[in-house]
């Protein structure tokens, strides 16, 4: 393993049991995450995109051991330089890592306790981890509020006195309070108005540059992650189907599903006409995924028997560009800018 990786996830699986009947017998499994591998470098932003239900949140929660993985490894390099497998750690050994690895949640409305003041909310992790109290705590909270563009004079106020965008800033300040080394941002702007989305994205971008954050940035849309991400991984029904440096993925997608996502990104130049690819059919259920390539029933290029019968593996087709598609070497797919 290279020292530069802060997180390496290998063949991660998260299968939730389906229980039915009076006896609550296990009659099947939802394969929410089914063999996912990726790595995140220090100071890197990896975007994780895909349709609703493809398993993005489950990846994030499992990496933080909010769920016990069904299988796979989660190698994390700690602040002290030790390499630990979060998947195998005892829960009591995971707890100290929660200071280093933190999550920003999608919904700034339900993730903040309405009965606590902003000072309490941002200061709580510092108190719990015994990092600061009293005057020092207040000073740290004020500095964090300034950092995320909030007026520290409002620290005695309650979340409902703030707008959605400001609440997400409170959430971000709370996440930053312990100076985490790895942040998993789960759709941090999806619940916000489009105009406010851009502001919060810009904030995250500038925090990234200033603080050298390492982020796993989860979103539905490529357009949300394209600017902030160094690399992007595309998920479909519990698997990563393509992963590449952001620009490469947008210019030259190699997977038909990624091509469809790229076609939905509004072009920077409004005069450029793009052909939006509308995918037909529904996303298959992760409880009963189709045989062969999970994407084949919706793929307009699937013409091989292998697409229907053989599961493609994620392969490095060009340096740093991974794709799981039997036809990747034959197809010439459309990206942004031609």
Ligand X SMILES: Nc1ncnc2c1ncn2[C@@H]1O[C@H](COP(=O)(O)OP(=O)(O)OP(=O)(O)O)[C@@H](O)[C@H]1O
Q: Taking the complex as a whole, how short is the minimal distance between the CB of residue 43 and ligand X, in angstroms? A: 25
- What tokens does 300 get? 């307009």
Runs of H (alpha helix) within 226-287 = 246-251, 256-263
Q: Taking the complex as a whole, how short is the minimal distance between the CB of residue 191 and Mg ion, in angstroms? A: 11
Give the list of residues 6+ apart from residue 157 with CB closer than 8 angstroms, or none. 117, 118
Q: Taking the complex as a whole, how short is the minimal distance between the CB of residue 62 and Mg ion, in angstroms? A: 12
Nearer to ligand X, 165 or 284 (CB): 284
* Residue 69 binding partner per list Mg ion, ligand X, none, with a CB distance cut-off of 5 to 8 Å that depends on partner kind: none
Distance, in Å, from the CA atom of 265 to the CA atom of 335, rounded to the nearest integer, reads 10
Nearer to Mg ion, 32 or 122 (CB): 32
> Does 57 help bind Mg ion (rule: CB under 5 A)?
yes
Q: What is the DSSP string of 142-177?
A: HHHHHHTT--GGGTTS-GGGS-HHHHHHHHHHHHHT
Cα dist from 202 to 46, 166, 207, whole Å:
16, 13, 8
* Residue 330 binding partner per list Mg ion, ligand X, none, with a CB distance cut-off of 5 to 8 Å that depends on partner kind: none
Q: Taking the complex as a whole, how short is the minimal distance between the CB of residue 32 and ligand X, in angstroms? A: 3
Q: Taking the complex as a whole, how short is the minimal distance between the CB of residue 31 and ligand X, in angstroms? A: 8
> Does 263 help bind ligand X (rule: CB under 6 A)?
no
Distance, in Å, from the CA atom of 165 to the CA atom of 210, rounded to the nearest integer, reads 21
Nearer to ligand X, 121 or 225 (CB): 225
Distance, in Å, from the CA atom of 320 to the CA atom of 153, rounded to the nearest integer, reads 47
Q: Which stretch binds Mg ion (CB under 5 A): 53-61, 171-179, 305-313, 317-325?
A: 53-61
Beta-ladder partners of 84: 76
Inter-residue contact 175 to 100 (CB < 8 Å) = no
Q: Taking the complex as a whole, how short is the minimal distance between the CB of residue 282 and ligand X, in angstroms? A: 12
> Does 69 help bind ligand X (rule: CB under 6 A)?
no
> Does 152 help bind ligand X (rule: CB under 6 A)?
no
> Does 165 help bind ligand X (rule: CB under 6 A)?
no
* Residue 53 binding partner per list ligand X, Mg ion, none, with a CB distance cut-off of 5 to 8 Å that depends on partner kind: ligand X
* Residue 30 binding partner per list Mg ion, ligand X, none, with a CB distance cut-off of 5 to 8 Å that depends on partner kind: ligand X
> Does 214 help bind Mg ion (rule: CB under 5 A)?
no
Closest CA to 148 of 124, 174, 126, 123: 174
Under DSSP, the state recorded for 313 is: P
Runs of H (alpha helix) within the chain = 56-63, 91-94, 118-128, 134-147, 164-176, 194-211, 222-225, 246-251, 256-263, 305-309
What part of residues 2-61 is at the interface with ligand X (CB under 6 A)? 16, 30, 32, 50, 52-58
* Residue 32 binding partner per list ligand X, Mg ion, none, with a CB distance cut-off of 5 to 8 Å that depends on partner kind: ligand X
What part of residues 181-220 is at the interface with ligand X (CB under 6 A)? 220
Beta carbons within 10 angstroms of residue 268's beta carbon: 9
Nearer to ligand X, 155 or 235 (CB): 235
> Does 104 help bind ligand X (rule: CB under 6 A)?
no
C-alpha dihedral, 164 to 170 to 172 to 173, nearest 10°: 160
Which positions lie near Mg ion, rule CB under 5 A? 57
Which positions lie near ligand X, rule CB under 6 A? 16, 30, 32, 50, 52-58, 220, 286
């Amino acid at each position: 393993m290279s020292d530069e990786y802060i997180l390496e996830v290998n063949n991660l699986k998260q299968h939730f049991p389906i229980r039915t009947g009076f006896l609550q017998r296990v009659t099947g499994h939802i394969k929410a995450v089914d063999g996912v591998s990726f790595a995140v470098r220090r100071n890197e932003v990896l975007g994780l995109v895909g349709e609703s239900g493809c398993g993005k949140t489950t990846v994030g929660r499992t990496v933080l051991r909010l769920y016990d993985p069904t299988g796979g490894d989660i190698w994390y390099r700690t602040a002290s330089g030790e390499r630990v497998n979060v998947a195998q750690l005892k829960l009591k050994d995971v707890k100290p890592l929660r200071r280093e690895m933190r999550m920003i949640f999608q919904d700034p409305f339900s993730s903040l306790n309405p009965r606590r003041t902003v000072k309490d909310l941002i200061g709580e992790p510092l108190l719990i981890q015994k990092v600061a109290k009293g005057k020092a705590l207040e000073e740290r909270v004020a500095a964090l509020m300034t950092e995320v563009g909030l007026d520290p004079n409002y620290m005695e106020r309650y979340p409902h006195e703030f707008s959605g965008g400001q609440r997400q800033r409170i959430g971000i300040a709370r996440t930053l309070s312990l100076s985490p080394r790895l942040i998993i941002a789960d759709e941090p702007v999806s619940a916000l108005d489009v105009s406010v989305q851009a502001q919060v994205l810009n904030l995250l971008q500038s925090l990234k540059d200033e603080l050298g954050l390492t982020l796993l940035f989860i979103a539905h849309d490529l357009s949300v992650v394209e600017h902030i991400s160094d690399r992007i991984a595309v998920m479909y029904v519990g698997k990563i189907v393509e992963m590449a440096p952001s620009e490469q993925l947008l210019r030259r997608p190699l997977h038909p599903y990624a091509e469809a996502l790229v076609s939905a990104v509004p072009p920077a130049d409004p005069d450029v006409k793009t052909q939006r690819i509308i995918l037909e059919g529904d996303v298959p259920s992760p409880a009963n995924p189709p045989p062969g390539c999970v994407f084949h029933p919706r793929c307009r290029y699937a013409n091989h028997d292998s697409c229907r019968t053989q599961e493609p593996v994620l392969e490095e087709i060009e340096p740093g560009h991974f794709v799981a598609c039997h036809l990747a070497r034959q197809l010439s797919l459309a990206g942004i800018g031609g």
